[in-house]
Structure 1
Amino acid sequence: MNTRLLTYFVKLVETKNFTRAAEQLHIAQPALSVAIKKLEQQLDLPLFHRNERKVTLTHEGEVLLVHARLILQQISDANIAMAELKGFEKGEVKLGVPSMLGSYFFPEILMAFKRKYPNLKLTIIEAGTQSIRQMLLDGELDLGVIHNEDVPQRLETEHLVTSQMVAVVSERHPLASQPYIKFEDFFKEDLVMFKAGYFHREFIDEICEKYHFKPKISFETNLLPMMLNIVRHDFSISALLELVTEHENGVVAIPFEEPVHLNIAMAWRKNGYLSLADRAFLEFVNAYSK
């Protein structure tokens, strides 16, 4: 087994199709087929179920996939480490950020970091906490901002910010003048929510499960500006981090009777290699957010 065969194997898993995988690998399809067959022969195990349109993993293939991704990531980390020993930097920070923090917490930090390190590239991926966790584990991201609860053991975290989750209503809404809101009153209203996978939605789902509420979700979107406009026009209410409402007109934040504070953290792979650029970004964010 060699890394070239593992690279081919992972690409075929990602595309589920020999033709697409061969195109992305820039090799002929017959060559890919031969390589995968060779890998299966070396292992003496079937790795894929094959049909005309797509291929899917066997149980044996699923087990190999976990190890293959780790091996390829470690090789990539080793190459970066060796390059830096010769005076080169990776030159790029790949950061996963949830929508609310990407829109309200990070812009100033990112611009200040870019001013200090103009030659470093910042690639920002907007996604939910669950997706960011998985992308970190798969090596698709260097750093990610996540809800610091139930964190996988393979991830390291460092506290970033604590923010209160509040109900958000329009200025005209009957609840707008209330000093706080009970969960039962919140869930009587029509709601606009992020889709599953965002810590905002995880919070809602946890409360519903704990108190046996059934939410009335009228709108579901990952577009924060759309969500805020729906609230402003009084079609629904929502729950967002308080730092969002501090920067938005036309909406009112109402704390919950039982205060909800979310611990947000920066995360990275414990056994992954943090480049000079990654480490510089971590140190900069820590200093900036204190």
Structure 2
Amino acid sequence: MDLRNLRYFLAVAEAGGFTAAAEQLHIAQPAVSMAIRKLEQTLDLPLFDRQERRVRLTDEGEVLLRHARTILQAVEDAERDMRELHTLERGEVRVGIPSMLGSYYFPPILMAFRHRYPGIRLEVIEAGTRKLQQMIHAGEIDMGVIVSDTPPEDLETHRFLRAQMMAILPADHALASAPSISYDAFFAEELVMFKEGYFHREVIDRISREAGVTPQIGFEANLIPLIKQIVSHGYGITTLLEMVVADDPSLVAVPFTPEVWLDLSLAWRKGHRLSRANQTFVDLVLAQADTTNR
């Protein structure tokens, strides 16, 4: 099976048409059509239903699509590994990090990695942990940060941080000096929360379901500086890791009762061998974790 024809097939399937695929591939449309015909002849199976204006995959095409994604991702992985076989002078690391950790935990690690390996391209994608899991499965990123209390069976995970989730209150709040805050007291307040898909929001949603209460969410935002400003001005309270407010005298971090701890891990596809560049990045993150936890 010709890999080029397989790439053209994937492009047509994802673009929904031969012309759109040709534009994405920067080639002439007849070349795409010819490649698909050759692929269908090789397999002796119809791959697209061409009766409608927007071509659609046949049942046989749907089966091939699943294999095509796996095959082409494997080829891409192999080519990248070969480029990096002898040296870390070139390479790429694509890592997904939630905004909270990307802003307050990872900057020193990212800068240290960049300083040691200036030839490696480092791409950092910000998203919620749920979205990052989807991106790992789709091959859009090499690895991502997830909450690993119940890690998916098809991901390999390595914990690098155990952090306590804290209630964040303005310094003049009535509960700011309390040793802890109960779930009932927390949910009695108007809340400023991350949008769905982020690990802090998922934990709060789970706790509220278990407590049988409906959170009073006054603001939804993923911008940490905005969340901190809203809370500091008394328009609600929120949850963050303590590191986010450590240097902000206008905000106070109060632990929950019972306490809420999060295990944060780097994750990648199980059975997928990391490239040397990616493995080096993982080693640096885990070494930093060992240093921090001593």
Aligned to 2:194: 194
Query: Using the alignment, how far apart are the partners of 2:18 and 2:170 within structure 1?
Result: 52
Q: TM-score, normalised to structure 2's length?
A: 0.86
Aligned to 2:5: 5
- The 1:112/1:190 distance shift into structure 2, 3 A limit, reads same
Instruction: Report the number of matched residues.
Output: 289
Cα contact 1:163–1:243 (8 A) shared by 2: no
- Partner of 2:265: helix, strand, or coil? strand
1:288 partnered with 2:288: yes
Kindly report which structure 2 residues correspond to 1:5-84, keeping only aligned pairs within 5 A, or say none: 5-16=5-16, 18-33=18-33, 35-36=35-36, 39=39, 42=43, 44=45, 52=53, 63-84=63-84
Query: Using the alignment, how far apart are the partners of 2:159 and 2:259 within structure 1?
Result: 20
Q: After superposition, what is the alpha-carbon deviation per residue over 1:2-39, rounded to whole angstroms, capped at 9, x for unaligned?
A: 43333234334544455443222112345435545665
Q: After superposition, what is the alpha-carbon deviation per residue over 1:48-86, rounded to whole angstroms, capped at 9, x for unaligned?
A: 79865x666676655544332221111111112233346
Q: After superposition, what is the alpha-carbon deviation per residue over 1:85-104, rounded to whole angstroms, capped at 9, x for unaligned?
A: 46575522111101111010
- Partner of 1:176: helix, strand, or coil? coil
- Partner of 1:255: helix, strand, or coil? strand
Aligned to 1:176: 176
Query: Using the alignment, how far apart are the partners of 2:88 and 2:255 within structure 1?
Result: 49
Cα contact 2:10–2:69 (8 A) shared by 1: yes
- Partner of 1:191: helix, strand, or coil? strand
- The 1:153/1:5 distance shift into structure 2, 3 A limit, reads farther
Question: Residue type matched to 1:146 in 2?
Answer: I
Query: Using the alignment, how far apart are the partners of 1:152 and 1:49 within structure 2?
Result: 38
Aligned to 2:145: 145
Aligned to 2:99: 99
Q: TM-score, normalised to structure 1's length?
A: 0.88
Shift of 1:221: 1.6
- The 1:87/1:113 distance shift into structure 2, 3 A limit, reads closer
Aligned to 2:246: 246
Query: Using the alignment, how far apart are the partners of 2:59 and 2:186 within structure 1?
Result: 45
- Partner of 2:71: helix, strand, or coil? helix
- Partner of 1:234: helix, strand, or coil? coil
Query: Using the alignment, how far apart are the partners of 2:285 and 2:198 within structure 1?
Result: 22
Aligned to 2:117: 117
Query: Using the alignment, how far apart are the partners of 2:96 and 2:90 within structure 1?
Result: 17
Question: Residue type matched to 2:45 in 1?
Answer: D
Question: Residue type matched to 2:113 in 1?
Answer: F
Give the share of equivalent positions with the same residue, in percent: 49
Question: Residue type matched to 1:217 in 2?
Answer: I
Query: Using the alignment, how far apart are the partners of 1:234 and 1:50 within structure 2?
Result: 61
Q: After superposition, what is the alpha-carbon deviation per residue over 1:85-143, rounded to whole angstroms, capped at 9, x for unaligned?
A: 46575522111101111010001111122222222221111111111111112221122
What residue ranges of structure 2 are gaps of 5+ in the alignment? Answer: none
Q: Which moved more, 1:102-111 or 1:29-38?
A: 29-38
Question: Residue type matched to 2:284 in 1?
Answer: F
Question: Residue type matched to 2:75 in 1?
Answer: I
Query: Using the alignment, how far apart are the partners of 1:20 and 1:90 within structure 2?
Result: 33
Cα contact 1:167–1:240 (8 A) shared by 2: yes
Query: Using the alignment, how far apart are the partners of 1:231 and 1:17 within structure 2?
Result: 49
- The 1:251/1:10 distance shift into structure 2, 3 A limit, reads farther
Shift of 1:245: 2.2
Cα contact 2:88–2:276 (8 A) shared by 1: no
Aligned to 1:211: 211
Q: Which moved more, 1:270-279 or 1:126-135?
A: 270-279
Cα contact 1:90–1:276 (8 A) shared by 2: no
